[in-house]
Structure 1
Amino acid sequence: MTVNMIQLQSEITEHWEQKILPFWSNLKDTTNGGFYGWVGNDLQVDRQAPKGGIATARQLWSFAAAYRVTGQDIWRDHAEHAYRFLADHVIDTEYGGMYWMVDAVGNPLDTSKHVYTQSFGVYALSEYYRATGDNSALELSKTLFSLIETRGLHTDTPAYREQFDRFWNEQPNEMLSENGVIADYTMNTHIHVLEAYTTLYRVWPDAQVKAALERLLAILYERVYDQDTKFLGVFFNKQWESIIDLRSFGHDIEASWLIDDALNVLGLEQHPAYAGMVTDIAYNISNIAVQADGSLMNEQEGEHVDETRIWWVQAEAMVGFYNAYQRTGDPQFLERVERLWAYTKEHIVDHRAGGEWHWSVDGNGTPDQHEVAGPWKCPYHNSRFCIELIERMG
């Protein structure tokens, strides 16, 4: 199969600029700040819905990156709007860190502190500084980085702990545990701390950030990655023992390119063990998790395979497979991207007027009834897919 790269890049650019960005732009809350916290499956906006800390950071990242890539002032204005809400309402100025949830006007609603949330703060604030040069954002990013390192890092293990109350007392990790288990450590948090520190290092190449990135790469290779199966473990106890037989296909392919991104900023692209991990994960997911229709399945627990096609899984797979193509030159990865994009355009994109992407569809392409925007459904995954491929194919 011959992939028309120019056409692919053009389609993705148009989709991002004419579908994704306008949808999220229309959710700007000019009364209370930030962006409206909920759009139901019926496309009705709930202007009184709470606003998530993670969602706020992801909105900030998305608009900051849009400004950096396009240079259009409208996206700088949206990024500044998101930054003000994050800095003024989501940051706990008394005890430090970002809240899990605030109400529609910005009052604390759930004051839990999760390392995952803090990592997205670092990620977004670093990108905002990268795009605008606003030094206050970089200083706030450094503060959150220090907080993760002092509160979140268990140096003896080493590992990043997960959930805390407002006063930084460790709590059971209910926010980022699923499948009937409560995990002490998760792959998910570790790959997103890595992602955050990679962006921070781009704008602040400090020795302590470098050391933290190197530590994270070692954790992922030695503790999370299974060199025999080529899968990443998902949920662990305090001894780094996997507590469930679970394979998260989307997280694996996402992790492969996030790890490679960290290797790039550190100048470790040719590190034999880590480079091998990147390509082995990509080949593994390509061989095992791709459906006949080109889409990517969600996960497998034991013998049960969840074939749901989730929006973010398709988005991250396109980036992961394109990254693998760049690293290996193997045309199968380019074909994977083209088929995933064709599937996404037909089934994942919401073709209703005023729609964006469905949360997920089943094997017949029937959408579920999940919200279109909420604490977890944000412009981050699909905006980033567009940005990554536009820049990589540019």
Structure 2
Amino acid sequence: MNTLTAEIQKEWVSHILPFWANMKDDEQGGYYGELDYSLKLDKTAAKGGIANSRILWSFSAAYRYLISNSYAEHAHHSFRFLKENLLDPVFGGVYWSVDYEGHPLDTRKHIYNQAFAVYSLSEYYRALNSAEALELAKTLFFLIEEKGYDPKTNAYKEEFNRTWQEQPNEMLSENNVIASITMNTHIHILEAYTTLYRVWPDSRVRAALENLLHILYDRMFDAKTGRLHVFFDQNWNSLLDLTSYGHDIEASWLIDDAMQVIGSDHPDHKKMIVDLAYSVAKNAIQSDGSLANEREKDHLDKTRIWWVQAEAIVGFYNAYQRTNDPLFIDLVTNLWEYTKNHIIDSRLGSEWVWAVKEDGSHDQREIAGAWKCPYHNSRFCIEMIERMSE
């Protein structure tokens, strides 16, 4: 495993972090909004709230782990852009996007977006001790709980306009449905609150985390198939027979992380962690060691998406730590080999490709953009380095 650790550290420090450092916009603030597949930089592309939060998280975590002033400077840079350009000074919360000069562009408020701001601000405080960032994270936590949480359904709502009037969930719905409740938003609120609780162990955050774990198990987890349902209507009816393998394996280790942070030993939740990992291993691993994207009814989408491979490596290693089953070590090794050979882009000035299609060709979506950020692959590197060195 020493070779694996060294390779992952090299990829992180010598490739991923330098790529994102080069995306810094020193003129307008924040980070450039898009680098397309041909490696053409669009300096006038919109700058997304989620992307900025993920960049803030990535450089904050890099500083916490590597203690390099250059990473601290990037974290400060992205924090300033969030505070000065992405936060709504009138109605509160984080905009979906601003234009390249930092002016409000898409002013909708999405709970998923607010959660990523909480996540990144908490990590920034954890790494660099910014009291201002922690206060912002607390403010957004209370805003999510006030506006986003619905005690009647015991679920978090999704999308609002600028003034916090609820509207159809366009931004986190896919597969031709509009979902009132999504698994995706809930696992990322869980992730955000877990990091917030690490730095601010308040009883209200703990209660929200405990409730989220129960929502995931009681409402979203299908114990018979070992999967999480993805999209729901407002009455908790599942809208699609859909399995998202990347989200399932990501959720597996995020649930475990949350349980460890609050000291939970709930037997059903512990079993859910392992069942999710075994189910993904059984149903989604391909002959080349990669992980397929999703299954809708009987159709398996074999697209190999960059973040799915990254999260699967962490999720399977976490499952190994839970079970000591060597199956998971084999899965980790094979996934890393696939990622090295097919997902990491060897072109100078590039990073990871969006995906590899079933025919082996690259999906020519952007290399950097509103959804293509360093968080999944930076975090995979940090998690694996820390776990394998324990």
User: Which TM-score band applies after superposition, normalised by the shorter structure?
Assistant: over 0.9
Q: Which amino acid aligns with 1:104?
A: Y
Q: Displacement, 1:256?
A: 0.2
Q: Which amino acid aligns with 2:27?
A: T
Partner residue, 1:260: 256
Partner residue, 1:123: 119
Partner residue, 1:13: 9
Q: Which amino acid aligns with 2:14?
A: Q
TM-score w.r.t. the length of structure 2 is: 0.99
1:327 and 1:295 map into 2 onto residues whose CA distance is 22
1:280 and 1:320 map into 2 onto residues whose CA distance is 12
Q: Which amino acid aligns with 2:46?
A: P
Residue 302 (str. 1) matches residue 317 (str. 2):
no
Q: Which amino acid aligns with 1:339?
A: N
Q: Which amino acid aligns with 1:27?
A: M
Q: Displacement, 1:362?
A: 1.6
Q: 1:244 aligns with which of 240, 244, 247?
A: 240
Q: 1:83 aligns with which of 71, 75, 79?
A: 79
Q: How does 1:184-203 map to 2 (within 5 A)?
A: 184-203=180-199
Question: For 1:147, what is the secondary structure of its paired residue?
Answer: helix
Q: Which amino acid aligns with 2:302?
A: E
Q: Which amino acid aligns with 2:61?
A: A
Q: 2:144 aligns with which of 145, 148, 152?
A: 148
Deviations 1:75-129 (A, max 9, x none): 0000000000000000001100000010001100000000000000000000000
Q: Which amino acid aligns with 1:372?
A: I
Residue 206 (str. 1) matches residue 202 (str. 2):
yes
1:250 and 1:10 map into 2 onto residues whose CA distance is 25
2:198 and 2:152 map into 1 onto residues whose CA distance is 28
2:47 and 2:150 map into 1 onto residues whose CA distance is 30
Q: Displacement, 1:345?
A: 0.2
Q: Displacement, 1:365?
A: 2.7
Partner residue, 2:132: 136
TM-score w.r.t. the length of structure 1 is: 0.98
Partner residue, 1:58: 54
Partner residue, 2:355: 360
Question: For 1:295, what is the secondary structure of its paired residue?
Answer: coil
Q: Displacement, 1:227?
A: 1.1
Q: Displacement, 1:250?
A: 0.3
Residue 38 (str. 1) matches residue 27 (str. 2):
no
Q: Displacement, 1:206?
A: 0.1
Partner residue, 2:379: 384
| Segment drifting more, 359-368 vs 130-139 | 359-368
Q: Displacement, 1:44?
A: 1.2
Partner residue, 2:165: 169
Partner residue, 1:273: 268
Q: Displacement, 1:353?
A: 0.9
1:54 and 1:342 map into 2 onto residues whose CA distance is 29
Deviations 1:13-57 (A, max 9, x none): 001000100000000000011000000101111111100000010
Residue 320 (str. 1) matches residue 315 (str. 2):
yes
2:122 and 2:360 map into 1 onto residues whose CA distance is 37
2:178 and 2:358 map into 1 onto residues whose CA distance is 30
Q: Which amino acid aligns with 2:377?
A: N
Q: Displacement, 1:364?
A: 3.9
Q: Which amino acid aligns with 1:72?
A: S
1:212 and 1:34 map into 2 onto residues whose CA distance is 31
Q: Which amino acid aligns with 1:12?
A: I
Q: Displacement, 1:314?
A: 0.3
Q: Which amino acid aligns with 1:62?
A: S
Question: For 2:57, what is the secondary structure of its paired residue?
Answer: helix
1:351 and 1:362 map into 2 onto residues whose CA distance is 17
Question: For 1:229, what is the secondary structure of its paired residue?
Answer: coil
Q: Displacement, 1:366?
A: 1.4
Structure 2 spans left out of the alignment, 5+ residues: none
Partner residue, 2:107: 111
Q: Which amino acid aligns with 2:66?
A: T
1:132 and 1:126 map into 2 onto residues whose CA distance is 10
Q: Which amino acid aligns with 2:347?
A: R
Residue 333 (str. 1) matches residue 328 (str. 2):
yes
Q: Which runs of 4+ in 1 moved over 4 A?
A: none
Partner residue, 1:233: 229
Deviations 1:268-298 (A, max 9, x none): 1x32100000000001101110001000000
Q: Which amino acid aligns with 2:301?
A: D
Question: For 2:363, what is the secondary structure of its paired residue?
Answer: coil
Deviations 1:318-357 (A, max 9, x none): 0000000111111110110110000000000101111100
Deviations 1:154-182 (A, max 9, x none): 01210000000000000000100000000
Q: Which amino acid aligns with 1:223?
A: R
Question: For 1:170, what is the secondary structure of its paired residue?
Answer: coil
Percent of pairs identical after alignment? 60
2:41 and 2:139 map into 1 onto residues whose CA distance is 34
2:335 and 2:256 map into 1 onto residues whose CA distance is 21
Partner residue, 1:92: 88
Deviations 1:190-236 (A, max 9, x none): 00000000000000000000000001000000000011111100000
